[in-house]
Amino acid sequence: MTRARTRTTEREPMRRMPWGLVLSVLILGAALASCDGPNRGSNTQPSAVSGFLVTVTASPNTVRGATAGSGSSDGGCSQIQVVVSKSGQLVDGTLVTVTKTLGVFKSGTQELVGIQDITIRGVALFVWCAKSQRGTAIITATAEDATATVLITIF
């Protein structure tokens, strides 16, 4: 005669879901997603009292420094683009000043520590070149009281 064996399984007690925590995370996430920040949203803030918003980009943002013993004191160059806008519109004829911590600005055959230009259709373009120093160059663009920076790595 064979006996049927029955196996009893013990169930683990059910754990309660921390609904208060889940609800708090959902509410906080929705609130943060609806916030406008300086770089997103339809109500982005200008970077200055004047209402100007300055953006500066470097292309490329990684360049080779001057090679020792090559006879050339120049390394790689980068184009610096400064865009000035106000209330979403590009601002024409604004004086833009650009400074740097490493490298030089080139204007023809001249090497400059700082440079200025007037925006055309809201844009001013500059050429920046690395020298023998290695590190990170900080390029700072200013239009009236609005300022923006971009970093360029020199290797």
Residue 18 forms part of a structural domain: no
Give the single-character DSSP code of 87. Answer: T
Written as tens digits, the pLDDT of the chain (155 aa) is 555 565 556 666 666 767 777 777 778 777 666 665 544 445 445 556 788 999 999 999 999 998 876 666 788 999 999 999 999 999 999 999 999 999 999 998 899 999 999 999 999 999 999 998 999 999 999 999 899 999 999 99
This prediction's pTM = 0.67
Residue 93 forms part of a structural domain: yes
Which candidate, 93, 76, 94, 79, places its Cα nearest to that of 143? 94
Residue 41 forms part of a structural domain: no
Q: What is the CATH number of the domain that holds 70?
A: 2.60.40.10
- For residues 139 and 98, what is the distance between their CA atoms, to the nearest angstrom? 7
Residue 89 forms part of a structural domain: yes
Residue 142 forms part of a structural domain: yes
Residue 11 forms part of a structural domain: no
- For residues 141 and 27, what is the distance between their CA atoms, to the nearest angstrom? 39
Residue 134 forms part of a structural domain: yes
Give the single-character DSSP code of 113. Answer: S
For residue 137, the enclosing domain spans 52-154
Say how many domains are in the chain.
1
Kindly give, in sequence order, each residue whose CB lies less than 8 Å from that of residue 155, ignoring residues fewer than 6 positions away: 62, 63, 64, 65, 134
Residue 45 forms part of a structural domain: no
